[in-house]
Structure 1
């Protein structure tokens, strides 16, 4: 079973994301994200951007995991562990990302900008991690 970030969201952040998604989904249906004006539109677009980044991350994770499994396949039994190491790293990274972004949201705590800040942070850190996973998949030849 693939390890997705949604499956590992802390319960509190998951509930916040779920509540925000209801309003954000409506904004995504009507908002032109190249010209978002209202806070609802900007938040919806920020959420959409994070969802797109998360989808890219999941593709990159699967590719990196396949590379690690390939590496494990040609190593001696006493040297294998690439796939498990990557899995553990991803499991450690997700709470780090989520708590970092939750902290970032405190810059506008209780205000209408809070969720936009959190989604923007989630998208940024997710894209950074996607780059790291793509580098890992590319191996030493990158």
Structure 2
């Protein structure tokens, strides 16, 4: 009997999870509290980061193919791309931390930092995809 009660409780929790997710998405259409604004900014950054992570292997593969076609004295496309990406991540994080100082220590600071990171990440994804040209 205890097992069935535990199972039913777990089932109720699992069935309510999609509804909770839908409620959170609906809140992001018009967030009213700072907590909701911060959470929505985090969701936007997660989506931007996911798009970047989807584009990255395509661009990296393209640059590896470029190197494969070049003579040894001209290779370096992949290394240049990797250095640019690593440097960009450092730039993004440092720049967005500086943006957060407009509300340093306040509840709005995470919103400013995370929104900045989402914006720059979307821009970087566009930049990376542009490297592919018509590919």
What does residue 113 of structure 1 align with?
108
Aligned residues: 113
Instruction: Spell out, residue by residue over 1:4-61, the C-alpha distance to the aligned partner (whole angstroms, 9 max, x if none).
Output: xxxxxxxxxxxxxxxxxxxxxxxx9553211211110110000010011011111112
Of the two, which has the highest radius of gyration?
Answer: 2
Alignment partner of 1:53 is 2:53: no
SS of the residue corresponding to residue 78 of structure 1 reads helix
Q: Mind listing any 5+ residue stretches in structure 1 that lack a counterpart?
A: 1-27
Please, what TM-score do these two structures have when normalized by structure 1? Answer: 0.75
SS of the residue corresponding to residue 29 of structure 2 reads helix
Structure 1 position 63, deviation (Å): 1.1
Rounded Cα–Cα distance in structure 2 between residues aligned with 1:80 and 1:58: 24
Structure 1 position 64, deviation (Å): 0.9
Rounded Cα–Cα distance in structure 1 between residues aligned with 2:67 and 2:59: 12
Partner residue of 1:131 out of 122, 126, 130: 126
Instruction: Spell out, residue by residue over 1:62-107, the C-alpha distance to the aligned partner (whole angstroms, 9 max, x if none).
Output: 1111110111111111111101110011011101000000000000
Root-mean-square deviation (CA, aligned residues, Å) is 1.6
Rounded Cα–Cα distance in structure 2 between residues aligned with 1:71 and 1:84: 11
Q: Mind listing any 5+ residue stretches in structure 2 that lack a counterpart?
A: 1-19
SS of the residue corresponding to residue 127 of structure 1 reads helix
Please, what TM-score do these two structures have when normalized by structure 2? Answer: 0.79
Rounded Cα–Cα distance in structure 2 between residues aligned with 1:136 and 1:59: 14
Dislocated runs of 4+, deviation >3 Å: none
Structure 1 position 137, deviation (Å): 1.5
SS of the residue corresponding to residue 111 of structure 1 reads coil
Partner residue of 2:78 out of 73, 76, 83: 83
